[in-house]
Amino acid sequence: MRVYVMMDIEGVAGVVHSEEGMKGNPEYERARRLMTNEASAIVQGIFDADPEAQVTVVDSHGSYRNMIPELLDDRASILRGKPRVGGMMDGIDHGYDFAIFGGVHGRGSQGESVLSHTFTGHLLDIRINGASCGELELNSMIAG
């Protein structure tokens, strides 16, 4: 089984303020560790279900250089840094059996969630066929 794990930072457990996801902020290192630990927990669950799985974890926040590779479960491969032609979903192809989305947050127009936005703070609502879509919905469409 091939699994694609996309990780963002704003929806990671324990991250509650936008500054935590910004390089240079004193709390950024903590948020990076939380993000990497959450990704490792996802990887652990995948391997518990299928010890032969092939897992790719994709750092999909900001500069794409947030996760700490040395702390990630070493059974997974990691995609981080630029260039990223496919943005948050770079590297996804039809060879994956499914995608898991970690660290996901609410869409821009969804005010009741922590750190809700869609890609930037400037897009309030993206609609496809009349339905509001956030990063989760849009990235799921890319994944197929």
Tens digit of pLDDT for each residue in 25-69? 999 999 999 999 999 999 999 999 999 999 999 999 999 999 999
Domain holding 58, by residue range, is 2-105
Could you tell me which residue, 111 or 57, shows the higher pLDDT? 57
User: What average pLDDT score do residues 120-135 get?
Assistant: 85
User: Is 7 within 8 Å of 38 (Cβ atoms)?
Assistant: yes
Q: What is the pTM of this model?
A: 0.91
pLDDT at 111 over 90: no
With respect to residue 116, please indicate whether it lies within any of the assigned structural domains: no
- Residue reference for tokens 């590779």: 69
User: What average pLDDT score do residues 86-96 get?
Assistant: 90
**Strands, E assignment, 8-119:** 54-59, 77-79, 98-102
With respect to residue 129, please indicate whether it lies within any of the assigned structural domains: no
- Number of structural domains in the chain: 1
With respect to residue 21, please indicate whether it lies within any of the assigned structural domains: yes
- Any idea what the CATH number is for the domain that residue 86 is in? 3.40.50.10780
Could you tell me which residue, 17 or 77, shows the higher pLDDT? 77
State pLDDT tens for residues 52-63: 999 999 999 999
Q: What percent of the chain lies above the pLDDT cut of 90? A: 65
pLDDT for the residue numbered 130: 93
Helix (H, G, I), strand (E, B) or coil at 38: helix
With respect to residue 73, please indicate whether it lies within any of the assigned structural domains: yes
